[in-house]
Amino acid sequence: MFAAVSLGVFDHLAEAGTAQELASALQVQTEPLERLLDACVGLKLIHRNGLHYENLPVAQAYLCRKGPQSLTGYILYSNEVLFRLWSYLEDAVREGTPRWKQSLGSEGSIFEHFFRTPEAKHTFLQGMHGLGTLSSPAVAQAFDLSRFKQLVDLGGATGHLAIAACERFPDLRAVVFDLAEVIGAAQIHVSQSPARGRIRTAAGDFFRDELPEGDLFALGRIVHDWPDEKVHALLRKIYRTLPHGGGLLLAEKMLHDDKSGPVSAQLQSLNMLVCTEGKERSLEEYRQLLEAAGFRDIQGSITQRPLDAIFALKPRDAGAK
């Protein structure tokens, strides 16, 4: 699947074609391509009718670059980066550190690698947007957020969570807060939403800069990037910024409390081992982090989507933290 996406197979099979026709369009050899196509048939991504191949609906929706639900950005990132990092999983387990230098020769952080070129940045952000469109509507619906007026989506990337929340709750306004090099992508996607008049963007680093004001904060796929000490610092900063009675919404994939599953979260936690300083956590572990920062009334919701939801409140009688 990775190779087929990278070669552009699914983009060219939006309409049926033969292996020979496709090989000519992609400038590859016909017989090896036919093997790849037949493997994709076996994976139920492509249908074969005699000599002709055609995308099945799942490939048409998610594996073509121009589709509104496209996951090709994340797949290309997985093919070009994650696949290489995972080849050093044993060393990550031995040493407890990510594998960037070992596999890619990079001294920088994962985020510096994401933004090393305009093309790399676009690929990564589109991948995150594709995953976000699968998860964010369910996360936004997991809890009743109608009491809140101003959402601050920290590290909001393309704004998919802010968009989903504002489309769900008509009185909610939002600001997507992310690094300056990301904001342009957020503005494009926000402009396409029916809620665009209630969503703005702001550039900044949530670790270093002052946070925008709001009575609801969101962190989507942020907490799992970082070790406990950095998460503590960020949660305390959010807590101090929130008014009494303010809320915090997290979008993460939760492990069971006994770590027995689900397998998607277990494997994602290994993924974080090879590429970040973070890990996946259980609801109990999120509760401990949130309570240490002062939050209370912590709830979790299993969404049956790639990401689950955790919600917490700053008590109305809360003291300073």
Any domain includes 67: no
Q: In the structure, what pLDDT confidence band is assigned to residue 239 with cuts at 50, 70 and 90?
A: very high
Clarify whether residues 115 and 22 are in a common domain: no
Q: Per the domain annotation, does 124 fall within a domain?
A: no
**Considering its fold, how many domains does the chain have in total?**
3
Whether 219 and 297 share a structural domain: yes
pLDDT given for residue 218 in this prediction: 98
224 among known catalytic residues? yes
Question: Amino acid identity, residue 177?
Answer: F
Mean pLDDT value of segment 163-174: 98
Considering the domain boundaries, does residue 31 fall inside one? yes
For residue 109, pLDDT over 80 is answered with: no
- Per the domain annotation, does 320 fall within a domain? no
Domain with 194 in it: what CATH number? 3.40.50.150
Mean pLDDT within 251-273: 97
Residue 27 class from Cβ within 10 Å (0-12 exposed, 13-18 middle, 19+ buried)? exposed
- 177 & 247 share domain: yes
Residue from 224, 232, 244, 256 carrying the catalytic annotation: 224
**What's residue 81's pLDDT?**
85
| Domain identity same for 241 and 170 | yes
What mean pLDDT do residues 67-77 have? 87
Provide the domain limits for residue 108. 72-119
**1-15, 36-50, 56-70, 160-174: range with lowest mean pLDDT:** 56-70
Find, among 205, 153, 203, 156, the residue nearest to 174 by Cα: 153
Range scoring the smallest mean pLDDT among 88-102, 108-122, 272-286 = 108-122
Q: Which of 43, 62, 81 is the last residue of a domain?
A: 62
Nearest alpha carbon to residue 259 among 267, 271, 249: 267
Whether 189 maps to a domain, the answer reads: yes
Is 60 exceeded by the pLDDT of residue 54? Answer: yes
Q: Percentage of the chain with pLDDT > 70?
A: 97
**pTM of the predicted protein model:** 0.90
**Residue 53: predicted pLDDT:** 97
